[in-house]
Structure 1
Amino acid sequence: MTQFSQKLLTLMTVTVLGAATVPVVAHASSAETQGAISFIDDDGATAPVDPVNPGTPLPDTDPNNPATGNTGTLTLDVAPKTFNFGTVAASNAAKDYVATGSQNQYLQISDKRTDTDGWQVNVKQDRTLTDTNTNYVLTGATIHLPQGTARNSLNAPTSSPDPNLVVAPSVAITNVDQPVVTAQTVKTGKAVSTLTWNAGAVKLSVPKLTAKKGSYTNNVVWTLVAHATQ
C-alpha cells in the first residue's frame, strides 16, 4: 500500500465513525405570539369595605358611615355622617358630653396611584358650634376625636392594625387642619385603608358659663391630601 493510499484509508475511517455519532435533525417550523397588556388609571369610585377587615367588601350599606362617591386615584371614600351629642340639660359648669351610639365610625381611603406614594387625612371644623336660630356661639366648645385604629387591605392579616400607618393621638378639632392618619413611607397606605373608632369615644367639651338653651351645629371637614414620603 502506498503512502497515499494509507492516508486516504485513515481519512475515510474517521469520516465514517464521525458520521455515526451525529443525530439526524428534523426540519423545524416555528411561529411567534406576542404578549401584550396596557394599564390605565383606576379612577372610579371605591365601594365601602368592612372597616375592621378592609380586605372584604361591606355586606350592607352603613347609614352612619355613608360613601362619598368621590372618584380618582386618591380618594376619601367614607366618612362619619354625624357627631351627635344628644339633647342635654344646660349647665353653668364646665362639662364633657359623649356622642351617642356605640357603633364604629370610620374613614376609608383609597390609593390607586402607581407612580407616587404618600397621603394624609386632615380634620378641622368650619366654625365653632353655633345656634342655628340666634347665631350664639359656644365659644371654646371643642369636639375631641379619639385615637383610632388604622388597617390596610394589603396588610396580612387585613384585620390587624397596620403599623406603617401613623395615627394621631386624640385630636381637639379646631378651625385649623390637623393630621389624623398618614401614610408617610414609600409603598404604604396603598389599595384601601381604614381608620376606625367607637362613636361613644367622641367627646364634646363645653367651658363653664357658656351653654345656653338652643340647638347648635357645625361641620367637621375631612381633607385627604397627597403627602411627601420619607
Structure 2
Amino acid sequence: MKKTILLTCSVVLTSLAMGAQAAHAESTTPYNGKATFEFTTEDPNNLKPNPPVDPEKPVTPPTGQKGLVAIDAVSDLNFGSATISGGETKATAVVNEGETLGIQVTDKRGTGAGWNVQAKISDFKDKTDAKKILKGATVKIPAGTFYTTATGDKDNAPTASNGNGTVIGTAATQLITAAKDKGKGSWVNDWADNVELTIPGGNLVGNYEAAITWTMYDTPTGNK
C-alpha cells in the first residue's frame, strides 16, 4: 500500500513542476535597444600607399601615391622591337610574367562621388637624337577588364570610357569612368596583351621612348 501512495505523490509533483514551467514561458514587454557604428576616412596626414588588389599578380610599378583618391600602380609599356616594313607596323606591349599589365586605382573617400582617369602621351623621340620622332605613331589602350578585392563591391565596377578602346594622344583623354556610386575601393583595369602601338610607314630606325602622364580626378567627368 505504501508503494501505491508514493507512486501517486510522484505523479502529482511532476504535474506541478510542468505547470510552473508554463508560467515562466510568458514574455515580458519588448524593449528596443541600439547598435551603433561610425565609419570614417583615414587620417589625411597618416595615409599609406594602397596594397595590390592581387598580390600574386600585381600591377607594377607602384606610384607611391597616398591620397584618398589615388593611382596606386600603372604599367610602363614595353613594345619590344620590330623590323621596318614597307607599310604600317603594329606591336603589342609585353606582359611580364607574374605581373598584370594595367592600372590600379583606389577611391576610399566613402562618398560615392565617382572619379575618372585620363592619360596623355608625348611624341616617341629617339633616345640619342631628340629631333628624330616616330611620326604618326599611336598607342591604343583597350577597354580591358575590371576587378576588385575578394570582399570589394563587385556589382559597382567602373567602366572604360570607350568600350572599343581609346587612342591616347598629346591631349589628355579620358580612359576610365566611375559614375556616381561606382568604383568604390581599389580596382584594377587589366589590359592583358591588348595595348597596341601602330607606326605608319616611312619612319626611321632608332631606339624610341615616350612619356605617358596618368591623372585621376575626383569627379566622373572632366578635371574638376
Normalising by structure 1, we get a TM-score of: 0.68
Separation of aligned partners in 1, 2:87 and 2:39: 65
Q: Percent identity?
A: 26
- Paired residue for 1:88, among 82, 85, 109? 82
Distance 1:171 1:38 in 2: 37
Counterpart of 1:46 (choices 44, 50, 53) is: 50
Report the structure number with the largest CA radius of gyration.
1
CA distance, structure 1, for counterparts of residue 81 and residue 157 of structure 2: 40
Displacement of 1:119 after TM fit? 0.4
Write the distance in 2 (CA, Å) between the matches of 1:48 and 1:164. Answer: 17
Match of 2:120 in 1: 124
Q: Do the aligned partners of residues 85 and 59 (structure 1) sit closer, same or farther apart at CA in structure 2, a change above 3 Å counting?
A: closer
Q: CA RMSD in A?
A: 2.5
User: Structure 2: how far apart are the matches of 1:132 and 1:107?
Assistant: 26
1:144 matched to 2:140? The reply is yes
Structure 1: give runs of 5+ residues left out of the alignment. 1-34, 51-57, 157-161
Match of 2:70 in 1: 75
1:208 to 201, 208, 218: 201
2:190 paired with 1:190: no
Aligned length: 176
Aligned-partner residue type, residue 85 of structure 2? S
Distance in 2, matches of 1:116 and 1:37, equals: 17
Deviation of residue 101 (structure 1)?
Answer: 3.2
- Residue 60 of structure 2 aligns with which residue? 65
SS in 2 for 1:201: coil
TM-score, reference length from structure 2? 0.69
Unaligned runs of 5+ in 2: 1-35
Cα gap change, 1:89/1:184 in structure 2, threshold over 3 Å: closer, same or farther? same
